[in-house]
A = this chain, B = another copy of it.
Amino acid sequence: MKLPAVPQGFRLAGAACGIKSDPNREDVTLIVCEDEAVAAGVYTTNLVHASAVALNRAKTPFESCRVVVVSSGNANTCTGERGGRDSREMLELAAAACGARADQALVMSTGIIGVFLPMDKVRAGIAAAATKLGCDDAALASAARGFTTTDKFEKVAGRVVEISGAEVRITGIAKGAGMIAPNMATMLATIMTDASLTPDDAQASLRQAADVSFNAISVDGHMSTSDTVLLLASGRQSAAPLAGEDLATFQRALDEVCVELAKMIPADGEGASHLIALHVRGCRTQPEAQQIARKVGESALVKTAIAGSDPNWGRIVSAAGQAGVPFDPAGMSLAMNGHTIFQDGEPVPFDAAAVSASIKGRPETLVELTFSEGTAETRFWASDLTVDYVVFNSEYTT
């Protein structure tokens, strides 16, 4: 895979310090902002959350971010007072490694819940990453590996857009593959850009991008205790904070980067054999469309049907009906991979074998649900549910 370029003003690296069982696998990442950067964040709404989430939430958005430190293999969640102390020490070490203050640092951890961080290893990992900082492909790749837990592949995406004559880069790293054994995996992402944004615009842009991307995916419907998406803006490529059309151009590119990253997560959902791409149209509002899409995408019956290449449309239609969104069933239509199966509330004859073959033959299954309530629409991406998912998640791990 060709990696996108690292935006101007950032240096980063991953290092292996032994939090993970594989001693050669990166498990600490530092992302250093050469100068103070604007930082925004969106976080899990789970009441049970990591100390790192609370520490970041208290800071963002702000305009003096210097470093993000990430550890993987241990989520440092449900670890009480000591867990909070460990997260604060990570902030101090990361800040010291780049000559910044702890209040200029952000921290993310992902991995097993309820186990104290091995701080000796984390200290060594931060020190090692600090000696390797760079902005080339190798630096970006090692930083991305330092995010991962059970991911089968690193998740990096980028766009370059011209804004007011300058070449603006937006490059993101994400991780996540379901909350799976032996680690409770989490969705983490950090998007770097060399555009200039005010803290408020950075926060609003990230919120909008997250809503159409990271908030529109599901592996198993389980919200992690550590989910975090950060946006860092160095400002190197724009003279003043973006506004008007420039900000809209930036938003479109940011949305694209976040959607590209987000889709990689259910595609990498553990055990997943298909990415289910839902397109829900004709709703009164986008949140209602989203609510229907989520109910269908999180239905175990829909997920198992797709895993079995079965165009079992009754499951899709009945999942939509229980989403808590009012609609006229007589105005509902369904197509799978372009084959119309249900039209205006009535089943229509279709070639079941052809639809099944199309599901079987493609990594992505397109499910289009259309209603007659309005013009709002949404997209949503989910993993299917396979025997492998259950096997992975049933293994004795505690």
Interface residues in chain A, defined as those with a beta carbon under 8 Å from any beta carbon in chain B: 45-49, 77-80, 112-114, 179-181, 184, 220-225, 299-301, 304-305, 307-315, 317-322, 326-327, 329, 332, 342, 345-347, 352, 356, 385-387, 389-391, 393-398
**Minimum C-beta distance from A303 to chain B (A):** 9
Q: Is the CB of A225 within 8 A of B318?
A: yes
Central interface residue in A113, A304, A319, A326, by most chain B CB within 10 Å: A304
Most buried by B among A47, A79, A112, A225: A47
Residues of B within 8 A of A317 (CB): 48, 78, 113
Complex: chain B residue closest to A394, CB-CB: B308
CA distance A77 to B346 in the complex (A): 10
CA distance A110 to B321 in the complex (A): 17
A321→B393 contact, CB < 8 A: no
A395 — which chain B residues lie within 8 A by C-beta?
Answer: 308, 310
Residues on B with beta carbons closer than 8 Å to the beta carbon of A389:
300, 304, 390
* Contacting pair B179 A320 (CB below 8 A): no
Which residue of chain B has the shortest Cβ distance to A49 in the bound complex? B321
Contacts of A45 in B (CB 8 A): 322
Complex CA gap A79/B396 in Å reads 45
A329→B222 contact, CB < 8 A? no
**B390 with A47: CB separation less than 8 A:** no
Q: Is A391 touching B387 in the complex (CB atoms < 8 A)? A: yes
**CB neighbours of A47 from chain B (8 A):** 320-322, 326-327, 329
Q: Is the CB of B222 within 8 A of A356?
A: no
Contact call B345/A315, Cβ cutoff below 8 A = no
Contacts of A222 in B (CB 8 A): 299-301, 315, 318-319, 322
B300 touches A356 (CB 8 A): no
**CB atoms of A396 and B308 under 8 A apart:** yes
How many Å lie between the Cα of A329 and that of B320 in the bound state? 33
Q: Give A394 to B285 CA distance when docked, in angstroms.
A: 33
Asked if A313 meets B346 with Cβ closer than 8 Å, knowing A179-B301, A301-B222, A387-B387, the reply is: no
A115 CA / B80 CA spacing, docked (Å) = 55
- A326-B47 Cα distance, complex, nearest whole Å: 7
B299 x A221 contact (CB < 8 A): yes
Q: Are B318 and A46 in contact (CB under 8 A)?
A: yes
* Cα distance, A277 to B127, chains bound together (Å): 48
A181: chain B residues at CB < 8 Å are 305, 310, 312
**Given A78-B342, A222-B315, A223-B321, 16 more contacts at CB 8 Å?**
A47-B321, A47-B326, A48-B318, A48-B332, A80-B346, A184-B315, A221-B300, A223-B318, A223-B322, A225-B318, A300-B385, A300-B389, A301-B393, A305-B393, A387-B390, A389-B390
Contact B386 A314 (CB under 8 A): no
> Which residue of B77, B220, B327 is within 8 Å of A301 (Cβ)?
B220
- Residues of chain B within 8 A of A347, CB atoms compared: 78-80, 114
Q: Which residue of B lies closest to A221 (CB)?
A: B300
Minimum C-beta distance from A329 to chain B (A): 5
CA distance A45 to B90 in the complex (A): 50
Bound CA–CA A390/B308 (angstroms): 9
